[in-house]
Structure 1
Amino acid sequence: MQVTHFWHKLYLHRHKIVFALALLVCAFTAEAQKNTWVQKNNPNYDNKKLTYGFLIALHSSIYQVQYSDKFITPKFDTVHSINPSWTSGFSLGFIVNYRITEYLDVRLTPQVSFYEQRVQYRYTDERIDNQRIESTMVEFPMLLKYKSERRGNIRMYMVGGVKPAIEASGKKSDSGESLEVTNSNMSLEAGFGFDLYYPLFKFSPELRFSRGIVNVLGNPNNVYGQPLHRMNTNTITLYFMFQ
């Protein structure tokens, strides 16, 4: 109950949190730019083969659904539409970064992510059935990081790779009275960010886009799953990385 209450508070104030963190990023960036030509912080940081750190992330995600042939049968003629909606969540994790060349790294960021997905079933008699799916996922993004040349205390980069995930909570309903999803997922990821160098650490704000490539529809045979053929995840994540 404590965790649920904490998550509910985060969800209610998600816009304020994102705004505050965005201001923080702007402040960090402005400070880094101000010192670009004054001094070079951590000048030998990029010579290290292996570096570590931690991350905090805010994400917004949605299911992309594809109707099945059963959706147009008389059995489901009262179902007007099935509409997923965007929801917010957060992630916590670690960073392991290995330098291959001056401009190319391999990065592993094992993390725990908290999701709350929502799917709305609308009926022709104007009834609405809201399905809510909460999950705690252990994710293992494996990424290549391509970096630009460092200019002062700023360096831009792009990342891309795959993100396998498995559910950690292990709490599933098999009563057939709710929309069910699988306990694993696989996504393709791409994004960009900035490395900002400070005297004692490196801070990296990063925006990443994730596209699920496997069908996460768990039970296609219950009343909520039959009108659907496929469900994929789409996620946009804002990362705050400290190394």
Structure 2
Amino acid sequence: MAFTNIWHKLHLHRQKVIFAVSFILCVFGTAQVHAQKKVKAENKPGYDEKRIHYGFYLGMPFTRYNVEHSQAYADQLPGGVAVNAKTRPGFFPGLVLNVRLLEYLDARFLPGVGFYGRSINFDNMPTNDDRPAFDDATISSTMIELPLLLKYRAKRRGNFRMYFVGGVKPGIDLGSRKDTDTGEKIRTEKRDLALEYGVGLDIFYPYFKFAPELRFSHGLLNQKASYQSSYSNLIDKMTNHNVSFILFFE
């Protein structure tokens, strides 16, 4: 319970969390620049001339549903059930296929598998003894994700380079119909499509390129499936939203 409360507090202060991660990226990049000022030779000097290169990545997202309440929810206010999404951590690994398009523009295909456990809190739920209670519906998802992004690279400065990415991410949920964790409270759709964008820092080492990246993902499709229950009737629409810290090795 304490662990869950910690992630709930992260949701309440997500802007501070995003700022902190961005600050860490900047500090980390600055420290690396100062540490390698004395190194005159560029690592992997012909890297950008390669048409295609490969790699892998590890990502940690802070994920939640963006919930839009239904008319049934509005009708039972005030004093009715309160429905709020909670931020939870996740994990996703994947592979990298990078194709050079122009001098400073790449196309990136990043197939991976995402493991998520998004939660919705139902507070003041009615019970048989007329005592209000709260309940959490946790929807566990194992997603096959296929991000297709464009990467705009700044000019390389020594062994460092900033970049921006943006594109779309289709996804397929392998277990959306099982609903084992929710007890049939809420069902979700099998497919999703998200808009993604982010910023990162390429760091060139003698044998590989390392890149920490901060990426934002906003779901475009309603994930609430047609299913009638006292829980799902209070929700009209819910979409996936992630803030992810990703480490690339290429």
Q: Which band: TM-score by shorter chain?
A: 0.7 to 0.9
Letter in 1 for 2:71: D
1:32, 1:197 within 8 Å by CA — same for their partners in 2? no
| CA-CA distance at 1:167 after TM superposition | 1.1
Q: TM-score if structure 2 supplies the norm length? A: 0.81
| Counterpart check, 1:223 vs 2:230 | yes
- Residue by residue over 1:75-112, the C-alpha shift from the partner in whole angstroms, topping out at 9 and shown as x without a partner, is x8763310110000111100000000110000010010
Segments of structure 1 that go 5 or more residues without pairing to the other structure are 1-9
Aligned residue pairs: how many? 228
- Residue by residue over 1:125-168, the C-alpha shift from the partner in whole angstroms, topping out at 9 and shown as x without a partner, is 54101111111101000000001000000010000000000012
1:220, 1:229 within 8 Å by CA — same for their partners in 2? no
| CA-CA distance at 1:23 after TM superposition | 8.3
| CA-CA distance at 1:35 after TM superposition | 2.1
Structure 1's 24 and 70: CA in aligned 2 closer, same or farther, altered over 3 A? closer
2:171, 2:192 within 8 Å by CA — same for their partners in 1? yes
Q: What is the CA–CA distance in structure 2 between the aligned matches of 1:59 and 1:90, rounded to whole Å?
A: 6
Match of 2:207 among 173, 196, 200: 200
Structure 1's 195 and 217: CA in aligned 2 closer, same or farther, altered over 3 A? same
Partner of 1:146: 152
**The 10-residue stretch of structure 1 (158-167 or 24-33) with the greater mean CA deviation from structure 2:** 24-33
Match of 1:188 among 195, 202, 209: 195
Match of 1:128 among 134, 143, 147: 134
Q: What is the CA–CA distance in structure 2 between the aligned matches of 1:13 and 1:70, rounded to whole Å?
A: 31
| CA-CA distance at 1:234 after TM superposition | 1.0
| CA-CA distance at 1:171 after TM superposition | 5.1
2:159, 2:203 within 8 Å by CA — same for their partners in 1? yes
Partner of 1:4: none
Structure 1's 26 and 54: CA in aligned 2 closer, same or farther, altered over 3 A? farther
Percent identity over the alignment is 34
Partner of 1:105: 106
- Indicate the RMSD between aligned Cα atoms, in angstroms: 2.9
Partner of 2:13: none
SS of 2:81's equivalent?
A: strand
Residue pairs, 1:1-243, within 5 angstroms: 30-31=31-32, 33-36=34-37, 38-73=40-75, 79-123=80-124, 125-169=131-175, 172-173=178-179, 177-243=184-250
Letter in 1 for 2:101: I
1:29, 1:196 within 8 Å by CA — same for their partners in 2? no
2:219, 2:239 within 8 Å by CA — same for their partners in 1? yes
SS of 1:70's equivalent?
A: helix
| CA-CA distance at 1:173 after TM superposition | 3.2
SS of 1:38's equivalent?
A: coil
